[in-house]
C-alpha cells in the first residue's frame, strides 16, 4: 500500500505492507500522518510477479492512494528502482498467505455502463454468500493478471459483455469471519467499465456464482435488492473526491 503526498522536500511516495484485516484507506492515512478525515484518491493498482523463498509464484498488488492535490504527481514520484518495500522484501512474509485459517485476496469489481446510461449487474446464485442479491460484475484477481484484466475477464464470464476499463473509482476492504470457515480479508477495487456496443447479457461461466445478469436504468436500481459490494460501490461513486487536473 502506497501514499503519494507532500513531504518536507516536495512530492513523495511512501509505502508499507498492508496487514491482514487493515482497511487500506485508514492505513494510508496513518502512513502519511494524516488526520482521519483527510480525503484520499485511489489513483492506481499496480501488480508485479514475485517468488517466495520456497520458489512459489505469487503476485504483489500495490494499491496507490494520493491526497487530492498530489494526484498529478503519480507516477512521476516513483524512484528509479521502483517503490519500496520491494517485492523481494514482501515475498517472504507472504509464503503462507492464502493457507490455513486466514485467507487474503484482491478482488476487482466494475461499475459497468452502456451508452444509454444503464448499469450492468449480476445475480448471485444460491449457495454463495449474498445469494439472491444483485451484484457488481467482478471477482478475484488471479496470479498473472492485474485488476483491469481480471475485471474484463469476469465481466465476460458473468455477462458476456466486452468493454473498456476506465477510471479507478475507489479501493476498500471487507472482512468476514464465520464459525467453521476461514477468516477472509478482501481488498475490493472498484473501477468503471464501459460497454460501447451492449448485447443481451448472458452468463457464460458454468457452475459459477452467477445465476443471471441484466441491464438496469438508474431509476430501476432503487428497487433492487443489492449485495453489500454493489451498495458500497454505488456509495463510492456518489461521494468520491474530485481529482485534481493531471499535468499535461
Domains of the chain are 2-88 (no CATH), 102-239 (3.90.79.10)
Predicted pLDDT at 248: 35
Residue 187 CA to residue 173 CA, distance in Å, equals 4
- So what's the pLDDT on residue 50? 85
* 69-92 average pLDDT score: 91
User: What pLDDT, on a 0 to 100 scale, did the predictor assign at position 246?
Assistant: 42
pLDDT of residue 68: 96
C-alpha cell at 135: 451484484
Average pLDDT (199-228) is 95
Q: What is the mean pLDDT of the chain?
A: 90
- Cell numbers standing for residue 91: 515475498
Question: What is the mean predicted confidence (pLDDT) over 57-81?
Answer: 94
User: Rounded to whole angstroms, how far apart are CA atoms 116 and 114?
Assistant: 5
In the predicted model, what is the mean pLDDT of residues 14-29?
95
CB atoms within 10 A of CB 82: 11
- φ, ψ at 56 (rounded to 5°): -80, 135
What does the pLDDT average to over 14-39?
A: 96
Judge whether residue 189 has pLDDT over 60: yes
pTM of the prediction? 0.89
| pLDDT of amino acid 244 | 44
Among 109, 139, 111, which Cα is nearest to 125's?
A: 139
The pLDDT of residue 165 is 98
Amino acid at each position: 500500500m502506497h501514499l503519494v503526498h507532500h513531504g518536507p522536500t516536495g512530492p513523495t511516495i511512501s509505502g508499507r505492507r498492508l496487514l491482514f484485516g487493515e482497511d487500506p484507506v485508514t492505513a494510508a492515512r496513518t502512513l502519511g500522518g494524516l488526520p482521519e478525515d483527510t480525503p484520499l484518491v485511489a489513483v492506481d493498482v499496480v501488480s508485479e510477479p514475485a517468488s517466495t523463498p520456497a520458489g512459489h509464484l505469487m503476485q504483489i498488488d500495490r494499491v496507490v492512494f494520493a491526497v487530492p492535490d498530489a494526484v498529478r504527481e503519480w507516477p512521476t514520484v516513483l524512484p528509479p528502482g521502483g517503490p519500496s518495500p520491494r517485492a523481494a522484501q514482501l515475498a517472504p512474509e507472504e509464503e503462507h498467505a492464502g493457507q490455513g485459517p486466514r485467507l487474503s485476496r484482491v478482488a476487482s469489481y466494475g461499475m459497468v455502463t452502456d451508452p444509454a446510461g444503464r448499469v450492468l449487474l449480476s445475480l448471485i446464485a444460491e449457495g454463495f454468500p449474498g445469494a439472491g442479491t444483485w451484484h457488481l460484475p467482478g471477482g478475484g484477481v488471479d496470479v498473472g493478471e492485474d485488476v483491469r484484466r481480471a475485471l474484463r475477464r469476469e465481466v465476460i464470464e458473468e455477462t458476456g459483455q466486452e468493454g473498456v476499463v476506465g477510471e479507478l473509482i475507489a479501493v476498500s476492504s471487507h472482512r468476514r469471519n464465520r464459525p467453521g470457515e476461514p477468516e477472509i480479508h478482501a481488498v475490493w477495487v472498484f473501477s468503471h467499465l464501459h460497454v460501447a456496443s451492449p448485447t443481451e447479457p448472458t452468463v457464460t461461466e458454468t457452475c459459477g456464482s452467477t445465476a443471471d445478469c441484466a441491464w438496469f436504468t438508474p431509476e430501476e436500481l432503487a428497487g433492487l435488492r443489492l449485495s453489500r459490494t454493489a451498495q458500497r460501490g454505488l456509495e463510492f461513486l456518489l461521494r468520491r473526491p474530485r481529482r485534481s487536473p493531471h499535468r499535461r
